[in-house]
Structures are given as structure tokens and as C-alpha cells.
Amino acid sequence: MEKRAELYRGKAKTVFATDDAQRLVLHFRNDTSAFDGEKIEQLDRKGMINNKFNHFIMSRLEAAGVPTQVEALLSDTDSLVKKLDMIPVECVVRNRAAGSLVRRLGIEEGKELVPPTFEFFLKNDALHDPMVNESHIRTFGWADDATVEKMKELTFRVNEVLKKLFDEAGLILVDYKLEFGLFDGDVVLGDEITPDGCRLWDKETLKKLDKDRFRQGLGNVVEAYEEVASRLGVKLD
């Protein structure tokens, strides 16, 4: 597979074309950003950790029947992925209260949410990813009803699989965001699942082991990501 021109540069990943029109190379950089790109730093090894972490998680989800974009690891920082027609809406599931839910509703951080909450957000940095609902999605043509239902179904399936996986590693899956796209008409999980896009706490101490360490200036961000990977059995070296 030949890696060709750069197509898109996001906050932490770069997308490259290949000689296959239906395949892309996803390159994970060491860039770490927060607050819609207002805070950016380079953290050594982070790109490698997230690439291998994402491949591990996506492989587990594929085995559980969740179709994903990831096809193969190409190098420490590159993965081969399907080219998706991305849906501009994020799906967020919260198993415990944290982040914007706490700020918006005054809920105590860490409160267990039974059942878990589900939210849609529009992917738009300039607007700070506002919350939207199914009526907005339908009216503005971001996805049809069948696609929305499939996204919700797959998001909760991911929750079942990952809650168990992280629990067995002594971790709480607090919340996470997912992005989906269409490939040959089918809804497929895209982007990434790494500590950049989900909150993970130690079960015993509630120590934060995700990007909140960067957002909140807690330090040891890469060390936390490595700890999560080690607990799960992700091979980094």
C-alpha cells in the first residue's frame, strides 16, 4: 500500500491518501490539544501509544461484531483504514458524571449514571461542538433516521464491550465519544478510541488516566496512557 498526498491535518492526526481509492493512512502525531485547540503541546511517544492502543481496541470491537474503520497497523504511528463518508455528529455515552455534564447540570463528578446517558454533538470546533438532537440531525440532513438508529445501537454495543474490558483491567470507563461514517452504504465506526477521547479512572483510587491530565495540568499524561495500555495488554514495544 503506497502512502501518498496529505489530505487532512487534524489536531492530533494526519490523513493521507493511498494508491487504493477506498483506503487511507491515519498517522498519529505527538500533538496533544485541548479546549478546541487553544492548548497544544508535543508529548513524546503519544502518537505511537495512541496508534497501537486504537488498533487494539478496534480489533476487540470487530471481534464483538462492531464494524470499524481500522484494517491494519502499518508502523508505530500509521494505520491503514477504510475511507469513510464521515457523519458530522459525535455520539457520547456517559457512565459517570464528568466534564461538560457536571458543568451544564451541576451534577456531582463521579456520580454513577443508571442508565448511562446518550448525547449527540455537532462536530464543529468553531461552534465548540454544540449539543444537538435527532430533530436537528434530521432537519439539517446530517444523517437519515436509519443511520441515526444504527449509530445509537453501535454506540451502546461499544459500551457493553469496553466497560467489561476496562473493568477487568481495574479501570472505570467514565465516558467516551464516537464518530461514524458510511462505507459502501454501511455505518462504520471511525476516528479513534484512545485516552484522548474517553475518560478512564482507576477503580480503587479514581485517579484520572486520560486526557483530563493534560486539560487540568495534572502532568504525567504519557505515563498515564502507558499505564492504561499496560493494564489492557497492549504491546507498545
Q: Write out pLDDT tens, residues 203-221.
A: 999 999 999 999 999 999 9
Domain extents in the chain: 3-82, 85-220
CA-closest candidate to residue 24, choices 186, 190, 147: 190
Residue type, 26: L
Taking 90 as the threshold, does the pLDDT of residue 192 lie above it? yes
Q: In angstroms, what CA-CA distances link 204 with 19, 94, 117, 164, 169? A: 48, 19, 23, 16, 12
- Using DSSP's 3-state secondary structure scheme, residue 237 falls into coil
Q: Are 113 and 60 in contact (CB under 8 A)?
A: no
Confidence band for 237, pLDDT divided at 50, 70 and 90: confident
Is CATH 3.30.200.20 what the domain over 3-82 is classified as, yes or no? Answer: yes
The domain 85-220: what is its CATH number? 3.30.470.20
DSSP 116-177: EEEEEEE--GGGT--EE-HHHHHHTTSS-HHHHHHHHHHHHHHHHHHHHHHHHTTEEEEEEE
Percentage of the chain lying above the pLDDT 70 cut: 100
Across the range 118-124, mean pLDDT stands at 97
Task: Quote the CA–CA distance of 187 and 170 in Å, as a whole number.
Answer: 31
pLDDT digits (tens, 9 = 90+) for 17-68: 999 999 999 999 999 988 877 788 999 999 999 999 999 999 999 999 999 9
Across the range 115-126, mean pLDDT stands at 96
pLDDT at 19: 97
pLDDT at 75: 98
